[in-house]
Amino acid sequence: MAITSENFIKWLENYAALLNENKAYLTDLDSEIGDADHGINMDRGFQAVLKKLPDAADGDIGAILKTTAMALISSVGGASGPLYGTLFLEMAKSADGKAELTLEEWAASLAVGVEGVARRGKAGAGNKTMLDALFPAVEALKQASSEKRHLKEALQASCNAAEEGMKATIPMVAKKGRASYLGERSAGHQDPGATSSFLMLKAAAESLA
């Protein structure tokens, strides 16, 4: 079972809806350890994406992802724009010219995107960032692909892994970003970037199969 360009459009539309629904929640999380703007910024960015998607709906998944990246980079402030922009831009390179992706190709594309985020943010696992949700999601996809599991099952496993990774950020002490300025006081709070990343994988599980 393949993931089509139409699935990708649906994914981005659903993610934008989730971000809009959770805008206040994400901002509240960010108010505890950041600049209190993550939900606002992500919602603004994906509203911009929605306006650009009709121009990219030509069957090329790489073009859809690149359009998403450019919209985010040009409209989202703070660290979120460059980091999510990098995620989608790196994914776009691996999907360039493709009208559909297999599970294996989706896992590889997401992995490339996440590696780009890690390089851009100079962060790793356990730093209390979006990567703490994304790394487990990628590993779950790779494992599901190697086990030849059904696409829908693989996407849900990825979503579940992202959720566990998100929750695991609560006791962590932040090592990167604005939250790191708080030192030990950053512990006890769920990372907003990991939360928006979980929502992205949740939308994927609901849209890509």
- pLDDT band at 182; cut points 50, 70, 90: confident
> What local confidence, expressed as pLDDT, does residue 176 receive?
74
How large is the average pLDDT for residues 139-147?
A: 97
> What local confidence, expressed as pLDDT, does residue 102 receive?
97
CATH number at residue 41: 1.25.40.340
> What local confidence, expressed as pLDDT, does residue 186 receive?
79
Over 90: is that where the pLDDT of 105 sits?
Answer: yes
Over 80: is that where the pLDDT of 178 sits?
Answer: no
> What local confidence, expressed as pLDDT, does residue 78 receive?
80
Q: For residue 148, with 0-12 CB atoms within 10 Å meaning exposed, 13-18 middle and 19 or more buried, which class applies?
A: exposed
| Highest-confidence segment of 21-25, 76-80, 175-179 | 21-25
Closest CA to 62 of 86, 36, 97, 88: 97
- pLDDT band at 147; cut points 50, 70, 90: very high
How large is the average pLDDT for residues 171-191?
A: 83
Domain span holding position 98: 3-207
* Number of domains, the chain: 1
DSSP-assigned states of every residue in 18-74: HHHHTHHHHHHHHHHHS-S-HHHHHHHHHHHHHHHHHHH-SS-HHHHHHHHHHHHHH
Answer for the pair 209, 152: CB distance below 8 angstroms, yes or no: yes
Q: How far apart are the first and last CA of the chain?
A: 8
Over 80: is that where the pLDDT of 77 sits?
Answer: no
